[in-house]
């Protein structure tokens, strides 16, 4: 798929942008903080409903506009898919709620009809690669969970719905546990939330299990190629709660279960029941501590080469190569499962790679229908690449086509 | 220093405390009353006063009423074996409009919403259980909103009612998911009442 047009209003430093996108790869050139990354962020936001850079959506609204009382941002794009053209629009606005506290509201429209977050699934698929993605390997586990969630939600509607339910239920349940810890009350109020948590939680855990298996399957060969056959990357999923094997064990041995498969003779209902049972067992402890202690919000994923955990013992260079292999795997998997090319969004990532890895990354550009790249220094790209790409200069939230190759 | 006299300012400020009313609307309403026909402001004042002094909650169903028990609870024609549990007084109005329900009501005054700090002890749940325990009641219809909070509340109530050997039902499908009962049209609501299913 590809995007045909993009318009932004009060998004980051774009007061107003109307852009038609050419068919060839796009190279956005400009200095730091001019808006190159924000443009990729906008496209990612339209695809997933979240920013890869901030958890506070309010920061996406242009600051000057907000000072002038225009507390909203609008994003719109036309996506040309294999079978149809869709228009996605998102509006972020800040307005006071019933208690007068300013709240951020997010409205989503697909083809001008209001939709929920989960309805975005399949509308616009992207693979984004940012320089800071190297943190995926060694950074905190929340980053890896978010990555899995964003990747799955783009193509799996059931997963997107379960994830939304799980997140809401978890927040409600934690609020209730805190209340029970501090003020007391009827613990039976937990029961309906436990059931909802278990029902959505097993879908989330199974989805991640399947995805990690798939990514691992694709990343292995890519990684071997990138390292001249020296190293074979493997991703391991360590669910916080796995009824098939207690958590203490999963850290010591990789999962034996086939990717996507349940252990023989185990159904989703069995998992749900086991999850519920665990919640009941730990209820007293959870009330004491005022939070939910079991569930996929505590899952972990590890990157391994042989016996080496790259997050703990990998060099910076190894971690960078692992992330590159991961993104290549994501692209291949999304193509396979969606039957369509995702849009490739590469932000400044060439700078930190050597010649061979640069070539591997740029070869991805030829495997997709649309690729959008950014660079402070266009010299990073070969002349041949610059000549076939469409070059744009980004300056202070304004984008202009470059007359000739720079 | 404001160019407006304190009595005008005070009304603007008071209006602003209402949900959904910002300073602009508050000023507009204030000046409308100031300029408008002379007895409108006085009628409004009287109505506001009566709202608090003349009304109370019915000691049986907790609906808003001017006499206790309320008109519905004291009506000998109503079926006392059925209780319809709703979130808000306006839901009673909506169901009464269908003219298809002859039982009594129970108003919870909200729904379980942990994120908003609303828990079981803040709702009229203990009062409902006491009503059911005291005998007469054979069916409890859970008519909380078809929202995630309404469903949560219904599930909690079901667990509490189950040991009391009473029939518990939930409004049938057809109500717009995520919507409020009070906005449902009469036909939809009638169908939901008649299509209620046993839990
Ligand atoms: Zn009454």
pLDDT digits (tens, 9 = 90+) for B126-137: 999 999 998 889
**Omega within 30 of 0 (cis) for the link into B54:** no
Query: Cβ B114–A192 below 8 Å, yes or no?
Result: no
Helix (H, G, I), strand (E, B) or coil at A28: strand
A171 reaches B (C-beta below 8 A): yes
Instruction: Provide the 10 A C-beta neighbour count for residue B120.
Output: 18
**β-strand partners of A89:** A76, A109
pLDDT at A40: 97
Tell me what pLDDT residue A385 has: 87
Arch. (CATH architecture) of A140-322: Up-down Bundle (1.20)
- Each residue of A223-248: b (16+ CB within 10 Å) or e? beebbeeebebbbbbbbbbbbbeeee
pLDDT of residue A192: 97
| Average pLDDT of the segment spanning A291-298 | 92
pLDDT of residue B17: 87
Question: What's chain B's Rg over C-alpha atoms?
Answer: 20
Q: Is the pLDDT of residue A201 over 90?
A: yes
3-state SS, A353-367, equals CCHHHHHHHHHHHCC
Enumerate the domain spans of chain B: 6-53, 57-198
Could you tell me the pTM of the whole model?
0.85
pLDDT score of B75? 96
CATH architecture under which domain B6-53 falls: Orthogonal Bundle (1.10)
Cα A33 from chain centroid (whole Å): 23
CA angle A197, A202, A204 (to 5 degrees): 90
Contact B20 A98 (CB under 8 A): yes
Residue B97 has pLDDT above 60, yes or no: yes
Interface predicted TM-score of the whole assembly (ipTM), two decimals: 0.79
Q: How much distance in Å is there from the Cα of B120 to the middle of ligand 1? A: 21
What pLDDT does A251 receive? 38
Task: For residue B197, name the pLDDT band (cuts at 50, 70, 90).
Answer: confident
Q: Chain B: nearest CA to A175, how far in angstroms?
A: 6
CA of A19 to the centre of ligand 1 (A): 62
Mean pLDDT (whole number) for B89-102: 93
Q: CB distance B119–A189 less than 8 Å?
A: yes
Size of interface A-B (CB pairs under 8 A): 44
**A176 neighbourhood in chain B, CB within 8 Å:** 114, 119
Q: Does B175 touch chain A (CB under 8 A)?
A: no
**B163 touching A (Cβ < 8 Å):** no
CA nearest A193 in B: which residue? B152
Optimal mutation site among A96, A99, A100, interface B, most CBs of chain B within 10 A:
A100
Tell me which of 3.30.930.10, 3.40.1360.10, 3.40.50.300, 3.40.367.20 is the CATH number of domain B57-198.
3.40.1360.10
In chain A, where the domains are located = 140-322
Give B126's contacts (C-beta < 8 A, 6+ positions apart). none
Q: Is the pLDDT of residue A149 over 90?
A: yes
- CB-based contact, B123 to chain A, within 8 Å: no
Pairwise CA distance, residues A128 & A131, whole Å: 10
Is A176 in contact with B121 (Cβ distance < 8 A)? no
pLDDT digits (tens, 9 = 90+) for A328-377: 999 999 999 999 999 999 998 888 888 888 888 888 898 899 999 999 98
Nearest to A192 among B19, B22, B155 (CB): B155
Mean pLDDT rounded to a whole number for chain A:
89
Q: What is the percentage of chain A residues whose pLDDT exceeds 70?
A: 92
Tens digits of residue pLDDT in A242-259: 765 544 334 333 444 444
């Amino acid at each position: 798929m590809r995007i045909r047009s993009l318009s932004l209003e009060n998004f980051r430093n774009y007061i107003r942008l109307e852009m038609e996108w050419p068919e060839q790869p796009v190279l956005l050139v400009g200095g730091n903080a001019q808006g190159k990354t924000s443009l990729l962020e906008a496209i990612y936001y339209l695809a997933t409903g979240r920013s890869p850079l901030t958890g506070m959506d309010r920061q996406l609204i242009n600051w000057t506009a907000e000072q002038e009382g225009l507390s909203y941002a609008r994003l719109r794009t036309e996506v040309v898919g294999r079978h149809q053209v869709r228009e996605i629009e998102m509006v972020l606005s800040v307005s006071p709620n019933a208690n007068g506290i300013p709240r951020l509201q997010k409205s989503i429209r697909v083809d001008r009809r209001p939709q929920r977050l989960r309805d975005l699934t399949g509308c616009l698929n992207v693979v984004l690669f940012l320089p800071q993605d190297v943190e995926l390997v060694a950074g905190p586990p929340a980053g890896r969970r978010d990555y899995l969630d964003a990747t799955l939600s783009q193509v799996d509607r059931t997963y997107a719905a379960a994830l939304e339910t799980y997140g809401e239920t978890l927040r409600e349940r934690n609020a209730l546990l805190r209340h029970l810890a501090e003020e007391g009350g009827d613990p039976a109020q937990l029961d309906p939330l436990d059931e909802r948590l278990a029902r959505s939680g097993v879908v989330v855990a199974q989805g991640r299990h399947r995805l990690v298996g798939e990514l691992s399957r694709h990343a292995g060969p890519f990684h071997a190629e990138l390292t001249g056959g020296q190293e074979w990357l493997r991703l391991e999923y360590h669910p916080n709660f796995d009824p098939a094997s207690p958590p203490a064990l999963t850290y010591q041995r990789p999962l034996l279960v086939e990717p996507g498969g349940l252990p023989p003779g185990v159904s989703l209902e069995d998992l749900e029941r086991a999850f519920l049972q665990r919640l009941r067992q730990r209820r007293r402890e959870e009330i004491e501590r005022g939070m939910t202690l079991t569930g996929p919000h505590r899952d972990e994923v590890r990157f391994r080469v042989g016996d080496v955990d790259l997050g703990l013992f990998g060099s910076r260079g190894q971690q960078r190569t692992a992330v590159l292999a991961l993104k290549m795997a994501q692209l291949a998997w999304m193509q396979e499962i969606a039957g369509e090319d995702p849009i490739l969004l590469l932000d400044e990532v060439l700078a930190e790679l050597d010649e061979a890895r640069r070539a591997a990354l740029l070869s991805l550009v030829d495997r997709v229908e649309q690729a959008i790249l950014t660079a402070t220094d266009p010299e990073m790209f070969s002349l041949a690449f610059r000549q076939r790409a469409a070059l744009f200069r980004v300056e202070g939230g304004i984008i202009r086509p470059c007359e000739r190759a720079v | 220093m404001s160019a407006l006299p304190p009595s005008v300012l005070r009304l603007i400020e008071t209006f602003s405390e209402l949900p959904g009313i910002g300073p602009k609307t508050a000023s507009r309403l204030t000046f409308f009353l100031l300029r408008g026909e002379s007895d409108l402001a006085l009628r409004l004042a009287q109505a506001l006063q009566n709202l608090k002094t003349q009304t109370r909650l019915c000691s049986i169903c907790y609906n808003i009423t001017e006499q206790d028990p309320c008109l519905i609870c004291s009506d000998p024609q109503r079926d006392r074996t059925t209780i319809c549990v709703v979130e808000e007084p306006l839901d009673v109005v909506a169901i009464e409009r269908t003219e298809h329900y002859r039982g009594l009501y129970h108003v919870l005054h909200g729904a379980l919403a942990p994120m908003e700090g609303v828990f079981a002890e803040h709702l009229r749940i203990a009062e409902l259980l006491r009503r059911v325990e005291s005998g007469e009641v054979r069916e409890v219809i859970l008519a909380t909103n078809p929202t995630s909070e309404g469903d949560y509340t219904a599930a909690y109530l079901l667990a509490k009612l189950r040991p009391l050997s009473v029939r518990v039902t939930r409004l049938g499908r057809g109500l717009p998911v995520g919507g409020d009962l009070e906005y449902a049209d009469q036909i939809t609501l009638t169908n939901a009442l008649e299509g209620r299913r046993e839990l």
